Structure 1
């Protein structure tokens, strides 16, 4: 299948899925929710979304610098927001913007493998920590009898049955497994030669693990990803508050896991359709109706669109010299 055919298929899938959701919910009720959304909460959500992307861009910059890129923070933020714009307006969810960022680093002299790894680790690490944040939120909720009882009344009995310590253990395990792999690579012998550019790809990964500050960089990436996800969940919660959905923050953190993961799937147009479908299922566990769930997900997507438009206007025609 050609690239154009795949793009057309993704646009079609997103449009059909979103249309099906709109048909299944009450379109009039959805329109009333969107039209009556509280502007103050929307503004706060947009501010949180911008802060999340700034934190994400700086996290990527720190990783790229550690991998050997000689770029400034302003350049990295500009490239990151260009990637946000590409992700929002082109088919393929987050793939298009990620490819753009990798090529931008390669044009700045970083070997393509390291440039690609900077984006891959940035993306996968962020989603990995999202699961950690969601698991910790579930553990926190279930540790309180009131929250556990509320989940049981809402039909989320599976969460109650798993228990808080299982979720806490999942979060700790998710953090320790990558660290254990990194430490194991560092304790093993580095491939002969020591030159990253001359080694094969799997040897280059081991060589990178032997680089100075690898463990510290992992810690900074985890902290940065945690900040990104906390702010992103805040945007989702603000979107909910704007349409009258009152849930505790931990509930939004739990619901954000499937919502953000499905939005990142490269089968849609900017995450539209898959994000709304996941929101309907995830928020139903907390007693949120389908129309409100779709409205929340759409308003979250609008925050990304607003940033995309601003990024295009601000960065169109700019050069990299001042960055």
Structure 2
């Protein structure tokens, strides 16, 4: 489905013009985007390790980094967007002797942490871009901005409220497989760990926005940072849907829709999405190389 969508988007955007634009891309900005994209995934690996330790599962920093980039490689190669890599991370952690519940939950909550902050930053970006976005949804600018800000604030506070509910006992979690969450919510460093997740997820998403912007600048598209903080939400959410291989197709279609209010042509928007996909392919190659790295006994 994703590949069919990719072909359709490229066709509608005019393949001849698209490939002409890609051939003229600035190599230095492409390199910058690739480096920043690697930094984003390195921060993601660090966040996952912090989440696993909060839930009681131990892993070394080197193992966490290696497994994460291996998962990136699988995400590029396997259908289902991020699903294949996430399953791999959970299995890799289990094989070190960590409990199945903590291993699986560390991956699930790591993904939730990233999506939570992605939507929060996207909401703030949309608030900052209200003058351009409000006309597209046929809403009053003030009402549009106030609604977005209120929803974003509530969204940011939601995890803290839910975990405090678990901590105080008025929110009951069903099943013993959720015990690691109960223990984590009851830990004395609860607030500290929650802030670590929030800060690391913010770093990950801002680096991802910067990587997307670098690809755009390579094509001659220069927009304010607020635009990219908004655009990452629809672009990355669509890319994460388990209907494609590596997010191809859904990511490019979302880029066209997200950047249209800012005057970016379909040709350039598709090019921006494709370049971000190329960054992922490069990291997938790094992940494939990581499969060949010898694992240590303590991993």
CA contact (8 A) 2:2 2:249 kept: yes
Distance in 2 (alpha carbons) for counterparts of 1:78 and 1:322:
14
Alpha-carbon distance between aligned partners in 2 of 1:265 and 1:155, rounded to the nearest angstrom: 24
Which one of 92, 113, 121 corresponds to residue 109 of structure 2?
Answer: 121
Equivalent position of 1:310 in the other structure: 286
Q: Does 1:65 align with 2:41?
A: no
TM-score by structure 1 length? 0.86
Q: Residue 95 of structure 2 corresponds to which residue in structure 1? A: 107
Which residue pairs with 1:179 in the alignment?
Answer: 160
Residue 164 in 1 paired to residue 140 in 2? no
How far does residue 77 in structure 1 lie from its aligned partner after superposition? 0.4
1:238 aligned to 2:238? no
Residue 264 of structure 1 is aligned with which of 215, 240, 251?
240
Q: Give 1:314 shift.
A: 4.1
Question: How far apart are the structure 2 equivalents of 1:40 and 1:190?
Answer: 51
The structure-2 alpha-carbon separation of the partners of 1:67 and 1:178, relative to structure 1 and needing over 3 Å to count, comes to same
The answer to whether the 8 Å contact 2:118/2:205 transfers is yes
Distance in 1, Cα, partners of 2:120 & 2:273: 21
Structure 1 unaligned spans of 5+: 1-12, 143-147, 192-198
Provide the rounded CA distance (Å) in 2 between the counterparts of 1:107 and 1:315.
15
Q: Indicate whether 1:224 and 2:212 are aligned.
A: no
2:11 to 23, 43, 60: 23
- Structure 1 stretch 211-220 or stretch 74-83: which is displaced more? 211-220
CA shift at 1:72, angstroms?
A: 0.9
Q: Distance in 1 between matches of 2:227 and 2:99?
A: 42
Distance in 2, Cα, partners of 1:202 & 1:112: 11
Aligned length: 297
Decide which moves more: 164-173 or 93-102.
Answer: 164-173
Corresponding residue of 1:91: 79
Q: 1:297 to 1:190 in 2, by over 3 A?
A: closer
Alignment-derived partner of residue 273 in structure 1? 249
Contact 1:33–1:243 (8 Å) recurs in 2: yes
Distance across 2 between alignment mates of 1:171 and 1:101? 30
> Which whole-Å CA distance do the structure 2 matches of 1:75 and 1:218 have between them?
23
Deviates more, 1:308-317 or 1:212-221: 308-317
Normalising by the residue count of structure 2, what TM-score does the alignment of the two structures yield? 0.93
Provide the C-alpha distance between the structure 2 equivalents of 1:213 and 1:78, rounded to a whole number of angstroms: 27
Deviation at 1:89, TM superposition (A): 1.1
Q: Does the CA contact (< 8 Å) of 2:55 and 2:181 recur in 1?
A: no
Q: Which runs of 5+ in 2 are unaligned?
A: none
Paired position in structure 2 for 1:212: 188
| Mapped partners of 1:220, 1:200: distance in 2 | 26
Cα-to-partner distance string for 1:172-225 (whole Å, 9 max, x where unaligned) = 21111110111121112899xxxxxxx723555334321332232111101100
Out of 275-284 and 160-169, give the one that drifted further: 160-169
Distance 1:281 1:151 in 2: 11
